[in-house]
Amino acid sequence: MRLQSQLPALFASVGVAAHIFGGASSSSQTIISSSDSESSSAPHYRDTLLHLHKSLVEIPSVSGSEAAVGHFLADYLTDLGLRVELQAVPSSNAAADEKPRYNVLAWPTKSKVPRPKVLVSSHIDTVPPFIPYSISEGDKVTSDTEISGRGSVDAKAAVAAQVTALLDLIQSPEHEDFPAEEVMLLFVVGEETIGDGMRHFSDSLEQLEPKPTFDAAIFGEPTEGKLACGHKGFLGCTVKATGHAGHSGYPWLGKSANEVLMRGLVKILDADLGSSERLGNTTVNVGKFEGGVAANVIPEKAEAKIAVRIAIGPQETGAVVIEERIRDVLKSVDDEAFDISCNNGYGAIDCNCEVSGFENITVNYGTDVANLKGDHTRYLYGPGTIFVAHGPNEALKVKDLEAAVEGYKKLILHALKN
């Protein structure tokens, strides 16, 4: 099924995008067309791509507060002729003021029940804090123009590029036989926290009869425009230590939970928890540490939260192995003081990276790849680098976005044929 008749203005000009984005834009900055010297080399979709990316970044969507960007994206895709559904995602927080959150599902067919072969997905939530959109100064936008703001890389760049790639394939005269009805877009919430958006979508497939199955899923994350062969697994743990309170002047009469916990954490950091040739060492980050009530009181309780990036597999059991090794390390420090609880665990992830025309990479961060159940081929690819994501200098260049559009087009076509 082709939607060319419904998309005549999509890439012809920025008029459609300007109309759609008018209500969402809060920035005084205006994206100006490319300079004359670049006009011949700039892709025909540059203005539409940049306006979509701009509008997505301008809408704050820290995990847990993704409703506004979800509604915007749903309206945008509906206006372009796609069938769109908002999938409500139950919140893990039962607070009364919790706003609704939605996964955005879209497919280029009028069928109520899609049967796509390929899923194209990324996430619409970001880490805090919100950083406003900005674009490097200059009279004209060029391929080297830099765009910054929270989510400009992780992962609204992937969202904008994926949408543009699919719609360009639908309209392109070079792909008249493109099977648009075999592709679905999915943009999820909660990836930056517990992956509840993708988990909910995956679980919802089990309720459908017949159950939809994907031959392939393309996940959008910052991979420097390279195709990832996989990434480290993950395990989140809370480590608690219990001691005996007392006066700090007589430390031998008590037992410092802080001291016990610190010794345990240092030994974990120094331990060889597991490594692989592809992903290197398993690493541990002590992200939070709390303990004690006052400087002159021997602390009775202490607690730390750690994030473990797992270099060993398989996906199903790698985290179990690492958790047992951590428990053994803590027992060697004190076999009575510690209590540990872990969740969201999975071992090292494998992805397909055997696609002509792509450089390869492996990454250390976690993704939603592990949260989508099923026996499908998995591809991980996207614009920008993780080294600026989550930081105050999150940014990428126009040429990175445009290259990602072409990359996603190649991956979609490859996945449909294999």
Q: How many CB atoms within 10 Å of residue 76?
A: 22
Tell me, yes or no, whether 121 and 183 share the same domain: yes
Highest mean pLDDT among 99-108, 139-148, 235-244: 235-244
Tell me, yes or no, whether 170 and 84 share the same domain: yes
- How many whole angstroms separate alpha carbon 416 and alpha carbon 135? 36
Does residue 299 belong to any structural domain of this protein? Answer: yes
Domain boundary among 346, 367, 397: 346
Tell me, yes or no, whether 64 and 209 share the same domain: yes
Tell me, yes or no, whether 406 and 308 share the same domain: no
Helices (H), 67-176: 67-79, 156-171
* Model confidence pLDDT, tens digit, residues 64-106: 999 999 999 999 999 999 999 999 999 766 444 567 899 999 9
Catalytic residues: 191
Tell me, yes or no, whether 376 and 399 share the same domain: yes
How far is residue 381 CA from its own chain's centroid? 11
Does residue 130 belong to any structural domain of this protein? Answer: yes
Domain boundary among 309, 330, 346: 346
CATH at 340: 3.30.70.360
* Model confidence pLDDT, tens digit, residues 142-183: 999 999 999 999 999 999 999 999 999 999 888 888 999 999
Helices (H), 40-151: 46-58, 67-79
Domain boundary among 346, 361, 389: 346
Tell me, yes or no, whether 112 and 183 share the same domain: yes
Tell me, yes or no, whether 246 and 194 share the same domain: no
Does residue 37 belong to any structural domain of this protein? Answer: no
Per the structure, the count of domains in the chain is: 2
Q: What domain range is 205 assigned to?
A: 45-136+144-231+349-416
User: How many CA atoms does the CB half-sphere of 356 hold within 13 Å?
Assistant: 3
Does residue 69 belong to any structural domain of this protein? Answer: yes
Tell me, yes or no, whether 121 and 178 share the same domain: yes
Tell me, yes or no, whether 69 and 212 share the same domain: yes
pLDDT averaged over every residue in the chain: 89
* Model confidence pLDDT, tens digit, residues 338-386: 999 998 899 999 999 999 999 999 999 999 999 999 999 999 999 999 9
